[in-house]
Structure 1
Amino acid sequence: MIRRANPADEATIRDCAEQAYRRYVPIIGRKPAPMVVDFAAQIKAGHVHVAVDGDTFQGFIVFFPKGDHMLLENVAVLPSAAGRGIGRSLIGFCEEQARRGGFTAVRLYTNEKMVENLTLYPRLGYAEVARRTEHGFSRVYFEKIIGGPGA
């Protein structure tokens, strides 16, 4: 089940981000952006959803409208829940919410040193559209055209 996050989820979301991204710290040379965001503010804004199995937290996703598209800013799954399709389900949920909102595209970015993402996102239908350095991070931008409502 995927539901909107609430303030009581913040510590669990932060822990999930820590577990999911800490392996990249030595590769990138510092904590990746998803480890240092203001989750409380994102939860309050309604941008965070969590995947749960009963009462057991599995992962989370952060997305919100940005201009003419939905921006998928962060998706993370607990390592103990990895490999069960939870990340794909969360991304699919974001895409469906974008369609319902009348958006025709979902955009996202990843650090170029998170090499598995560079092959994962194309397998999910995302096309690379740009590479930029922002805030000291080398990022690869992807976009998926999803159509409009009812597509």
Structure 2
Amino acid sequence: MGMRSYYLIDNKIQSLEEPEVAALSKMNKSKSATLLADQQVLVIDDSPINLIVAEKTLSKFGAKCFRAISAKEGLKVFHEEKIDLVLMDLHMPVIDGFKGTDLIRETEKFQAHPVPIMAYTTFSHDEVMEGIKKHKLDGYIGKPFTQAQVIGSIFEVLSLRQQKYKQA
């Protein structure tokens, strides 16, 4: 008998066979593995499990993932590595994700080469919408998430960024 994994999404238990996940799994593996090729993503989250899940999800699509367990560690990784996108947990001890976003945006590196910073949180969009606008986050990914939601949200943000630079 085969094994099946289930996830709690929007208060509903869904298996990996749900339509949007099934559609991703049917995608040509070599094609899906290149969707985020050459993208280096920094994931900042105080949950080691969330960091592992994010890294596994992003790596399936070709992204190189850097993990940081706090905003302070994330700031250090941002300085040391070439980063194309930041996924920022908003609810962390000591320095929350909003303040962490502000700290990254204040760096000389960010000022010279801005990258998108997306909220990556268990809070609903409505709960954090004001903070997202105030701190100028570029997008939102709610946890728990499906692979399709993550990729769709990232593509939306990266596409908007490319359009912005083409217009400049």
Q: Report the TM range for the smaller structure's normalisation.
A: 0.3 to 0.5
Q: Which has the larger radius of gyration?
A: 2
Structure with greater contact order relative to length (CA < 8 Å, sep ≥ 6): 1
Which structure shows the higher helix fraction?
2
**TM-score normalised to the size of structure 1?**
0.37
Which structure shows the higher strand fraction?
1
**TM-score normalised to the size of structure 2?**
0.35
